[in-house]
């Protein structure tokens, strides 16, 4: 299985357009909003989430560019972990595709009804529950009940899931969990034997947003790195979905060093893995 991290930042990216925090003004390498591309054969590709930055991410990734025919594209579909705008808004940017399959939990599909109505007017889109992909076995674990701001609090069903994707040919295993409100029941078993876990690294510490007047991290649905780092135990996991306030964005910071010392990775946009 081939894995490309198209974007590794949380909503808004880094630098974020409406922020003048230390990280956004430090001239650090920019990061686009979190999105991953996976493929069993290197020809047909599937997206894990679809960020608002998807156009630039596709154009910046040779494997995802159109060709060889004038309208041939290698994208074969999208799996969504939730209905947050920074994970789903990119679907509307793909309207020129003429239709793609989108897989997501039922609660997410219901939340995305306005998106679906718009996309359907541009082509033959299909919307269904998560399923296996060509050459790849997909398992799903509900991890959070946090709903996007535009969704009614009364909406039933798990709002956020993680994916475990296994390559039937190589045995490689990827777990994608960019949003964890807590360390959920069953997660240890879900990540067992995984070759790569892309883990929620939105915030480093529980009081991080205080400096920019933001809400508590747990209320935003993200377990801080300080709460999950001890569980890694030297496993080669990678933190993604990094918020612009996160000090690990700075390679010279003590927090960045602490993550690496624990054996975890902080890959940049464009990082590639073969599992």
CB 133 within 8 A of CB 163: no
Tell me which DSSP letter residue 24 carries. Answer: T
Is the model's pLDDT at 165 over the cut of 70? Answer: yes
From CA 50, how far away is CA 80, in angstroms rounded?
7
Tokens, residue 17 = 């357009």
Q: What phi, psi does 145 have (nearest 5°)?
A: -105, 10
- Cβ atoms of 12 and 86 closer than 8 Å: yes
CATH topology of domain 2-274: Metallo-beta-lactamase; Chain A (3.60.15)
With 0-12 CB in 10 A as exposed, 13-18 as middle and 19+ as buried, what is 28?
middle
Q: Where are the alpha helices (DSSP H) in 47-178?
A: 54-59, 85-88, 90-93, 106-111, 113-120
Average pLDDT, the chain: 92
Quick: pLDDT tens for 102-150. 999 999 999 999 999 999 999 999 999 999 999 999 999 999 988 898 8
pTM for this prediction:
0.95
CA 51, 37, 102 angle in degrees (round to 5)? 65
220 — pLDDT class (breaks 50, 70, 90): low
Residue (of 223, 238, 212) closest to 14 by Cα position: 212
Amino acid 218: pLDDT: 55
* Mean pLDDT value of segment 46-65: 98
Q: Could you tell me where the beta strands, DSSP code E, fall in 34-158?
A: 35-39, 45-48, 75-79, 101-103, 126-128, 136-144
User: In the chain, what percentage of residues exceed pLDDT 90?
Assistant: 84
Q: Spell out the alpha helix ranges (H) of the chain.
A: 54-59, 85-88, 90-93, 106-111, 113-120, 187-191, 225-232, 254-261
Q: Which residue has the tokens 């045995």?
A: 171
Q: How far apart are the first and last CA of the chain?
A: 5
Radius of gyration from C-alpha coordinates of the chain = 18
> Can you give the residue ranges of every domain in the chain?
2-274
Q: 91-106 pLDDT, tens per residue?
A: 999 999 989 999 999 9
Q: Are 224 and 204 in contact (CB under 8 A)?
A: yes
Is the model's pLDDT at 243 over the cut of 60? yes
Strands 238-240 and 196-200: parallel
């Amino acid at each position: 299985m081939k894995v490309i991290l198209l974007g590794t930042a949380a909503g808004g990216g880094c630098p974020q357009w409406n922020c003048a925090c230390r990280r956004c003004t430090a001239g650090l390498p920019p990061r686009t909003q979190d999105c991953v591309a996976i493929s069993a054969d290197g020809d047909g590709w599937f997206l894990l989430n679809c960020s608002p930055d998807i156009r630039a991410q596709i154009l910046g990734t040779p494997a995802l560019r159109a060709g060889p025919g004038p309208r041939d594209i290698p994208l074969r579909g999208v799996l969504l972990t939730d209905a947050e705008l920074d994970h789903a808004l990119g679907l509307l940017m793909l309207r020129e595709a003429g239709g793609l399959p989108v897989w997501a939990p039922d609660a997410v599909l219901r939340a995305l009804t306005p998106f679906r109505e718009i996309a359907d007017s541009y082509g033959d889109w299909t919307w269904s529950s998560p399923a296996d992909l060509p050459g790849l076995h997909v398992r799903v674990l509900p991890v959070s009940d946090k709903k996007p701001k535009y969704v009614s609090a009364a909406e039933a069903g798990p709002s956020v899931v993680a994916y475990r994707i296994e390559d039937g040919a190589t045995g490689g295993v990827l777990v994608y969990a960019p949003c964890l409100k807590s360390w959920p029941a069953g997660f240890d078993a879900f990540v067992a034997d995984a070759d790569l876990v892309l883990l929620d690294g939105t915030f480093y510490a529980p009081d991080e947003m205080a400096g920019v007047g933001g809400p508590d991290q747990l209320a935003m649905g993200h377990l801080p790195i300080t709460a999950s780092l001890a569980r890694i135990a030297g496993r080669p996991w990678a933190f993604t979905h990094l918020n612009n306030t996160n000090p690990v964005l700075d390679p010279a910071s003590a927090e960045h060093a602490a993550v690496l010392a624990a054996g975890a990775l902080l890959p940049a946009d464009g990082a590639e893995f073969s599992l």
